[in-house]
Structure 1
Amino acid sequence: MPEGSPVYEPGLRWSEVDRFRPTGGSYGTPVAEGAGFKYDEATLHELMKEWSDLAKEYRDDLADARMIAVARPPGMEFASGDNAAITRQSGEALVAALEQRVAYCENMAKKYVSALGKYATADDHAKTVINQQSKGIV
């Protein structure tokens, strides 16, 4: 087992996970004064985009899952009816799972949007403080 946490790689797709090998590092710089992590603005934008893209992929999958959830038997015989009923149950479970995943991913994206807002507020405050200082060498 490799030591350390895997390093965040912007743009990593799960289809490429076989090439992913965890290396030492962390998902951000630990904050000295307490629990949490720090990200730069570019990383926050990338994380927000990745969570939004993942939510979109799940939403796209929902259309197919809904078709499974309304499957009709191909024939009028007993076996077809039972098979379609089981297929519909599986489709309904898939729809529910995908809806939960969409909600989770959208929630994560919103957290990064919120963090970006706090980042921008802190940046604006720092600019204001700097601009209030006297100009030139004191």
Structure 2
Amino acid sequence: MAVPEGSPVYEPGLRWSEVDRFGPTGGSYGTPVAEGAGFAYDEATLHELVTEWTDLSKEYRNDLHEAQVIAVAQPPGLEYASGDNAEITRKSGEALVQALTERIAYCEKMASKYVTALGKYATAEEQAKITIDQQSESIV
């Protein structure tokens, strides 16, 4: 499989099940933003990223409920083999619960960062509008 040239791309709304694994997928990191504001993504891309990280967090949270069931598994019988098997299953479930909890926290943190970036974006947009309005008043 040939590797496409250039850096990897982000395409908002892309579902990996729809990606052609044997060819370039296209996409972009969003509309380029003018220098100066310090933003790497346009506003629409930031909104999409917040949605995607939030949705991923919800998926992990759903998985967490199922993992908690595994973490309290009971042996089907009272013999030695069943008890050991249940103990190992519980340990595996506990590890899964911990991993999912960490992933949920990470996703929520990422969503929060993009929400913060949206706030900064809106503030920068408002400041630019005020500056333009002041300049146009002095021209008249």
Match of 1:38 among 22, 37, 40: 40
Q: 1:32 to 1:120 in 2, by over 3 A?
A: closer
Per-residue CA deviations over 1:49-90 (Å, capped at 9, x if unaligned) read 100100110011000000000000011111110000000000
TM-score (norm 2): 0.83
* Counterpart code for 2:20: R
Q: RMSD value over aligned CA atoms?
A: 2.6
Counterpart-to-counterpart distance in 2, 1:111 and 1:58: 19
Q: Which position in structure 2 is the counterpart of 1:8?
A: 10
TM-superposed CA distance for 1:131, in Å, is 1.8
Distance 1:111 1:102, change over 3 A: same
Match of 1:66 in 2: 68
Q: Which runs of 5+ in 1 are unaligned?
A: none
Per-residue deviation at 1:17?
A: 6.2
Give the deviation of 1:6 after TM superposition: 2.1
Unaligned runs of 5+ in 2: none
Q: Where does structure 1 differ by over 4 angstroms across 4 or more consecutive aligned residues?
A: 20-26, 28-33, 135-138
Q: 2:88 aligns with which of 86, 90, 108?
A: 86
In 2, Cα distance between equivalents of 1:98 and 1:127: 43
**Does the 8 A contact of 1:4 with 1:25 survive in 2?**
no
Kindly tell me: are residues 99 and 26 of structure 1, through their superposed partners in 2, closer, same or farther at Cα, counting changes over 3 Å? Answer: same
> What residue number does 1:119 align with?
121
Distance 1:17 1:82, change over 3 A: farther
Render the CA deviation track for 1:98-125: whole Å, top value 9, x for unaligned.
Answer: 0010011111101100100000000110
**Aligned CA distance change for structure 1 residues 125 and 18 (closer, same or farther; 3 Å):** closer
Q: What residue in structure 2 maps to residue 47 of structure 1?
A: 49
Contact conserved, 2:60 with 2:104, CA < 8 A, in 1? yes
Aligned-residue offset at 1:25: 7.7
Seen in structure 2, the aligned counterparts of structure 1 residues 102 and 12 have a Cα distance that, compared at 3 Å, is: same
How many matched pairs? 135
- Alpha carbons 2:4, 2:24 under 8 Å: kept: yes
